[in-house]
Amino acid sequence: MKDLASKTRDGLLDFSKLSALSDDEVIKHLTQVKGIGVWTAHMFLIFTLKREDVLPTGDYGIQAAMKKHYRKRKMPKAKDMEKIARVWSPYRSLASWYLWRSLDIKTVK
80 is catalytic: no
At 93, is the secondary structure helix, strand, or coil?
Answer: helix
10 Å CB burial of residue 81 (0-12, 13-18, 19+) is buried
**Cα 24 from Cα 18, distance rounded (Å):** 11
- The full length of the chain comes to 109
Catalytic residue among 3, 14, 53, 59: 59
- As annotated, the active-site residues are 59
